[in-house]
Amino acid sequence: MDRWAAAERAAGSTLVLCGDLNVAREPRDVHPKLRNPEQVGQTPAEQAMLEKIIAHGLTDLLRKFHPDDDRLFTWWAPWRQMRERNIGWRLDYVLAGAPLAEKAVSTESPREFGTSDHAPVTAVFDVPLERAKLPDEPQPAPPGQIPLF
């Protein structure tokens, strides 16, 4: 993923990487009761690999909008009411390249939603939408011309 992100950035692509990356970015992304830097998903080596990917001009949008939330988790073990007690890990991300990250207006991860052991992570961007044209749809006339049908 690191090589791919580097190549896409070099090609000028605007990147959005999102989903379950299975790595807690930093210690505060794991509930204090569950922190263990030797456990898979929390090791310094894994965190360094994630940081290397993020260093390709990506912004962690959950942290951008919730910089001080030390209980911002997106995964909970499915036993002992871990989700209800918010004893979890932050493993799910929306990482956006700078041009798009600047247009992000919010990012949320509602713990109360869904039945999975992961919460959804959503991002809202203030960008214009372009309507896709169907293959058999007539093309609009150039400015200043009247279309003939």
Residue 120 belongs to some domain of the structure: yes
Is residue 46 within 8 Å of 23, Cβ to Cβ?
yes
CA atoms within 13 A on the CB side of 36: 7
CA distance 59 to 74: 17
pLDDT single digits (tens) 84-137: 999 999 999 999 999 999 999 999 998 887 778 999 999 999 988 776 667 776
pLDDT single digits (tens) 12-43: 998 999 999 999 999 999 999 999 999 999 99
Residue 135 belongs to some domain of the structure: no
146 band by pLDDT with thresholds 50, 70 and 90: low
Q: What is the mean pLDDT of the chain?
A: 90
Residue 136 belongs to some domain of the structure: no
Residue 102 belongs to some domain of the structure: yes
- What pLDDT is stored for residue 135 in this prediction? 74
Asked if pLDDT for residue 66 goes beyond 70, the answer is yes
149 band by pLDDT with thresholds 50, 70 and 90: very low
Beta-sheet pairing, 58-60 with 104-108: unpaired
φ, ψ of residue 88 in degrees (nearest 5): -150, -160
DSSP string, 28-91: GGB-GGG--TTSTTT-HHHHHHHHHHHTTTEEEHHHHH-TT-TT--SB--SSTTHHHHT--B--
CA distance 122 to 110: 9
Residue 107 belongs to some domain of the structure: yes
Beta-sheet pairing, 16-20 with 92-97: antiparallel
- What pLDDT is stored for residue 113 in this prediction? 76
Asked if pLDDT for residue 139 goes beyond 90, the answer is no
Residue 118 token pair: 């992961």
- What pLDDT is stored for residue 117 in this prediction? 93
Domain that holds residue 118: 2-125
142 band by pLDDT with thresholds 50, 70 and 90: low
Number of domains within the chain: 1
Residue 62 belongs to some domain of the structure: yes
Tally of helices (H runs) and strands (E runs) in the chain: 5, 5
Residue 132 belongs to some domain of the structure: no
CATH code: domain of residue 20: 3.60.10.10
Residue 141 belongs to some domain of the structure: no
